[in-house]
Amino acid sequence: MRISSLTLTALAVLGLTTGVAQAYTVTHSTLGVLFSDDMEGAFSAEIGSWGTTDDGLSLLALTSMNIGATAGGPSGAAAGDDYLQLSRDLTKARWQEAIFTQAVNSGTLDIEFRYWIDNAWPTIVALDNSVGSVPNLGDNLASVTWAGSTGPGGGSTTEWYDYDNAFYNGAAINRGQWNLFQMHVDLDADNYQISVNGVPGDVVDTFPTTVSRVGMEFQDTSKTFFLDSVLEPPPKPNRTWAINASGDWNGDANWLGGPAPNANDVGAIFGSAITSPETVFTNSAVTVESIQFGVLDDSEATQSYAIAGQGSINLDSNASTPSIDVIDGTHQFQAVVNLLGPTNVSVAASSSLALNNTLNLNGNTLTKTGAGTLSINSQLSGAVGSVAATAGVVNGSGTIGGDLTNSGATVAPGNSPGKLTVAGDYLQTDGSLEIEINGTSADDVSGNRQFDLLSVGGSLTLSGGSLDIVMGFTPTLGDTFDILDFASINLAGATLNLGLPGANMLWDSSQLAFDGSLTVITGLLGDFDADNDVDGDDFLVWQRGFGTTYTATDLADWQGNYGSVGAVTAAATDSAAAVPEPTSASLLIVSLSALILVSRHWK
């Protein structure tokens, strides 16, 4: 079946157009590089091996690469100095194969190389599991051939043909020039797509099979084509945790894809090998470019990894931005983590990552993305740096040894509830600051704090977004909650979604911009929109909520107090702009005069 290239997913397009390496490479989605040759010097693969078969002509002598111009071929290499000429004649066999380090039947493969061709006889890629044998072109996952329905040598001169699946695949041949060939194979979805020079062909449906090699074949003598590497430095393969158990990070046998990861161009993947929570420990410093928790698959299973030990994890990269990517599950760092460059931390929805030991910012910025939760329960120290929260939730009871900026996340101090400390400044341009109040205790020593506190050593600025109060208990009149500490404050752009502390109660927010506190005061019966008076707007709120939120008794309270104005302190009354809501929650906007850069002393 032939499918329009417009149906290709964004992930498949990415696999076809990015991540090129300076080698002929075959890369697996979880196992890393299965075959690689830099196509320079001796004809000998760095990962995997080259092979050939003898079908009655002669064995291929695996010799050195071509250098310079070739008669009837390219004027020189596509990359570097050397390239490979493949021919079928009396000195070379018809079939040559790039043999993987292991066979695979699931996940994805990305195949990348450059080719130069000017004749109508080769099969440039055949994928199967028959190492050492000449392939049957009609019984492979794919046989990409300059051919047609009449056989090799026929058909289109402009479009590659899939001999096994019996149709053209929409990818251009581009004869007589060096071309970048990329092939993305999905062994789970049973399809593939070819891209030539970044232009994708069609998605081709195939059938389930095991693959252990990429083969190249000629159907006639005196025909030839040329292979070379692509353009970028070769990435080292990522390593994937391989055992269903806890273990030592530095144990090579615990990883797939190579030895234990410990370099600034290698990533560590903690995926689906485990079936219960496990701990990976290191008692020495290790360095990685990236860490991934969880895998993208169709199962509902999630994992839980703890990275622990007396050593440390250094996040560094020689070519890109270091990263931590939580795809699913609940994970934590119990070991020290050092940022050696600006680092991105992405946590997917319904997933979480906790920093439960020191994270040294070292003057760098940690950028939090994704809809999941990042918990800061540690001392974030080292040279002054910053945390930039752009999405999801940032919570915890630790200390950020620098600035915290919020441009679209929910910052929620504590772990339901608790105190989050920011040694530098807190700046919010969007998103929300969520304060949970579940009781009156402010005891941080015994861990019995019952309401949230954001403690900021420098300036606390809410130029956008909201301050949201989430009530988990009913206070009594006169209860005061210190929810913000700061050296200076500016709430001029903030929307204060304070809600109601309880029935017939209001918040006195007049001291919020002075000492960071809210106090419970008496509310007016019938003041359903909590704007400190009883008027027609309250009747509309009652009407919308009658039968669910309000009763006939509430209407009688409204009637009895219609026209009344509360006796809240002038600072709070004059600065509050009432916004009617269809529920019992109030929304208060504190006046600019009370909120612009008011300095105060620490309590």
- The residue-averaged pLDDT of 363-379 equals 94
pLDDT exceeds cutoff 80 at 64: no
Q: pTM (2 decimals)?
A: 0.58
Helix axes 552-561, 536-545, angle to 10 degrees: 180
Tokens describing residue 260 = 């234990």
Of 72-76, 116-120, 335-339, 589-593, which one has max mean pLDDT? Answer: 335-339
- The residue-averaged pLDDT of 168-177 equals 85
Alpha helix segments (H runs only) across 458-580: 512-515, 536-545, 552-561, 570-575
Can you give the pLDDT at residue 137?
64
Separation CA 332–CA 232 (nearest Å): 34
Q: Any residues with CB less than 8 A from the CB of 209 and at least 6 apart, and which?
A: 105, 127, 128, 129, 140, 141
Can you give the pLDDT at residue 318?
83
Can you give the pLDDT at residue 53?
67
Q: Do residues 497 and 468 lie in contact, with contact meaning Cβ atoms separated by under 8 Å?
A: yes
pLDDT exceeds cutoff 50 at 183: yes
The candidate with the shortest Cα–Cα distance to 223, out of 98, 124, 78, is 124
Of 74-88, 420-434, 566-580, which one has max mean pLDDT? Answer: 420-434
Can you give the pLDDT at residue 361?
93
Cβ-in-10-Å burial (0-12, 13-18, 19+) of 289 comes to buried
pLDDT exceeds cutoff 70 at 65: no
SS3 letters across 376-399 = ECCEEEEEEEEEEECCCEEEECCE
pLDDT exceeds cutoff 80 at 217: no
pLDDT exceeds cutoff 50 at 276: yes
The candidate with the shortest Cα–Cα distance to 229, out of 11, 35, 70, is 35
Strands 223-228 and 399-413: unpaired
Q: What share of the chain is helix, strand, coil (3-state, %, to 5)?
A: 10, 45, 50
pLDDT exceeds cutoff 60 at 504: yes
Can you give the pLDDT at residue 22?
54
pLDDT exceeds cutoff 70 at 54: no
Higher pLDDT, 14 or 476: 476
N- to C-terminal Cα separation, the chain: 73
pLDDT exceeds cutoff 70 at 595: no
pLDDT exceeds cutoff 70 at 3: no
Can you give the pLDDT at residue 20?
34
Can you give the pLDDT at residue 77?
82
CA torsion 541→543→545→550, rounded to 10°?
100
- The residue-averaged pLDDT of 61-70 equals 61
Q: Do residues 193 and 12 lie in contact, with contact meaning Cβ atoms separated by under 8 Å?
A: yes
Higher pLDDT, 44 or 467: 467
| pLDDT mean across residues, the chain | 82
pLDDT exceeds cutoff 50 at 160: yes
pLDDT exceeds cutoff 80 at 144: yes
| Local structure of residue 533 (DSSP, 8 states) | B
pLDDT exceeds cutoff 70 at 601: no
- The residue-averaged pLDDT of 154-160 equals 72
Separation CA 247–CA 203 (nearest Å): 41
pLDDT exceeds cutoff 80 at 38: yes
Cis-peptide into 135, omega within 30 deg: no
Q: Where are the domains of the chain?
A: 2-228, 236-295+302-384, 397-523+566-603
Of 42-51, 172-181, 215-224, 338-347, which one has max mean pLDDT? Answer: 338-347
Q: Which of 43-52, 64-73, 326-335, 546-555 is the least confident region?
A: 64-73
Higher pLDDT, 56 or 81: 81
Higher pLDDT, 597 or 110: 110
Can you give the pLDDT at residue 439?
96
Separation CA 597–CA 129 (nearest Å): 71
Of 120-129, 198-207, 340-349, which one has max mean pLDDT? Answer: 340-349
pLDDT exceeds cutoff 80 at 471: yes
- Phi/psi for 593 (5° steps) reads -65, -30
3-state secondary structure of 255: strand
Q: Per-residue pLDDT tens for 376-417? A: 998 766 668 999 999 999 999 999 989 999 999 999 999 989
Separation CA 578–CA 437 (nearest Å): 23
pLDDT exceeds cutoff 70 at 220: no
pLDDT exceeds cutoff 90 at 571: no
Q: Any residues with CB less than 8 A from the CB of 508 and at least 6 apart, and which?
A: 518, 519, 520, 521, 568, 569, 572
**Domain 2-228 CATH class label:** mainly beta
